[in-house]
Amino acid sequence: MRTIECGPAWFETGIVGVLAGATVGQASSSQAGPTIAFSPWSRDIWLRSVGKEVFPFMRKNENRPKKVLEWFQHCCTPQDVPAGPWAGGPFLTRRLLEEYEQRQAGLPAMQWLHRGVPEGLSHGDHARDMFYKLFCRSQLQFIHAHFRDYSFQSSKVSDLFPEGIDCGGRRSRSAPGIVHSAYCVASRKHLSPEQSLRNLAVMARWYPLAAFESARAADLLQQGSLFTIDGYIPDISVRGKRLQQVATLWLGGDPQAQPDTVTESVSADLAECLQYIGKLTNDKLLGETHSGHPYSMHHNDVDTIKARYKELIQTTRLFGGQSRCELLDDRYSNAYGCWRGKEQVLSAYFPASGTSAREAWSGGVVPEFPVVHDVKINSIADYQNYELRQWAWMEELLVRTVADKLISVRVASTGETREDIAAAIQGPQPFTVAISTEELARIYFAATREVVKQATEEQADDYASRVGLALITTAYDLSKVMNAA
């Protein structure tokens, strides 16, 4: 009997596969010049940020559903915080951090995966049922993403960006991500619409676009009280703490979490959506009447309110998403696209050969991550800051892209194979690239332009998806959503 191919190495980066995109004529041979080295941070990012596709493994072992289920359970067992590249450092790649968060034992999807065999089913039948749900229903959600009729994204999956930016590529490389996706689909028929929203709110922490598409595919808007209870009028005058709770729910899955600047921004854009509905239904802005009581809609406005909700769910990503896209483009271009940003990034991640990042950094101080941002990550709890989290992912993607381009330079000048490069970058000796100062600067700024576009589109889509999900939530009795188990 053949051994199932699901060893620990399966869950790590396919180094040679990643190199396929980094060694195909992306840069010309460099002129003789200085030599730079990959620092521990850049090596860690390059080695550990992209995982292998899981679905091919599942297809290959579809006749062994019990073993596949055991593999998923092993991969989704809660573990200690992964170690960073420097002893005691809090720096983690996006993939490692998200999988650490997704494996937490208290999450409903993990409880579903690790539950015992349901009464009336054999172990074999249970394994086959779970295999179907993990494989078929997860893929169904990926298919939904291909039918999007609006998006800020124009970038496509490429060798440099194998995951794409619609989050489907990240989920398909993550065993816990696949479990969360499958659970949201599999549990829907057993849960109330309010409970389904709460499940999607958990998944939206990592995959907001997928959560929004899933909510649309399941038609959760029309299962809200506005559409199911005759004469029901949503409280579209809600403000302050309640709007913040709705926004916070779709940022981290917990409506009671501490709000931050992004929460306030989502709340403001949600209020604008509600104000738009209010103005169109009764030609009034939301607010208070002359008597000081919140303005409420008349019953003859219900059909108009429903129509406006449906319209906004199709277009809401234009509300706050476009301004968010512009804000992020300015933010990252100014921080990383200047000479000071270049010096900070290169000295921390790609210092001159024989020089440590500590020595290359100004004043001999150890660089902190993210290097160009004033606020640093000092503990894993700092990743709960949504803005800081996005800065970290932007910088990680930039470093990975620069690393890919530098590897192309080395291959072009040495003729090494992909296998040679994979062995060298994982070896104990420094991984170096001979490159002129001018060529290094050209590569850096080219990578910055690519990555700023990529990160901006992804993060703007994520943001607008959260606004859309928050708007769907306001069509419900909010107290029932907040109290749903």
Could you tell me where the DSSP H helices lie in 149-234? 168-171, 175-186, 193-203, 208-217, 225-228
Where exactly are the structural domains of the chain?
Answer: 52-208
Confidence of residue 160 (pLDDT cuts 50, 70, 90): low
State the Cα–Cα distance between residues 203 and 210, nearest whole angstrom. 8
pLDDT band at 422 (very low <50, low <70, confident <90, very high): confident
pLDDT digits (tens, 9 = 90+) for 103-139: 998 899 999 999 989 888 899 999 999 999 998 755 5
Enumerate the β-bridge partners of residue 432: 37
- The amino acid present at 287, given as its one-letter code, is G
- Check: CB of residue 463 under 8 Å from CB of residue 390: no
Task: Enumerate residues 6+ apart whose C-beta is below 8 A from 421.
Answer: 19, 22, 23, 407, 410, 411
What the block records as the tokens of 216 is: 């649309």
pTM score, whole prediction: 0.84
Query: How confident is the model over 22-39, as pLDDT tens digits?
Result: 444 444 443 456 899 998
Q: Is 337 exposed, middle or buried (0-12, 13-18, 19+ CB in 10 A)?
A: middle
Backbone angles phi, psi at 433, to 5 degrees: -140, 130
pLDDT surpasses 90 at 158: no
What is the pLDDT of the chain when averaged over all its residues?
Answer: 80
Report pLDDT for 157: 44
Rg (CA), the chain: 24
Beta carbons of 158 and 18 less than 8 angstroms apart: no
Choose between 411 and 91: higher pLDDT.
Answer: 411
Residue 53 in contact with residue 178, Cβ under 8 Å? no
Q: Are 214 and 200 contacting, i.e. CB atoms less than 8 angstroms apart?
A: yes
Looking at residue 290, its pLDDT comes to: 39
- What does the pLDDT average to over 316-342? 89
pLDDT in tens, 178-235: 999 999 989 988 999 999 999 999 999 999 988 998 898 889 999 999 999 988 887 7
Q: What is the pLDDT of residue 168?
A: 56
Helix (H) or strand (E) holding 433: strand 432-434
Q: 302-315 and 437-473 are packed helices; what angle lies between their axes, rounded to 10 degrees?
A: 160
Q: What angle do CA 239, 242, 245 make, to 5 degrees?
A: 130
Q: What is the pLDDT of residue 459?
A: 93
pLDDT tens column, 55-76: 888 889 889 999 999 999 999 9
DSSP state of 9: G
Strands 35-37 and 432-434: antiparallel
Residues in CB range of 201: below 8 A, 6 or more apart = 211, 249, 250, 253, 469
The whole-number average pLDDT for the span 455-479 is 93
Q: Is the backbone peptide bond immediately before 82 cis, with ω within 30 degrees of 0?
A: no
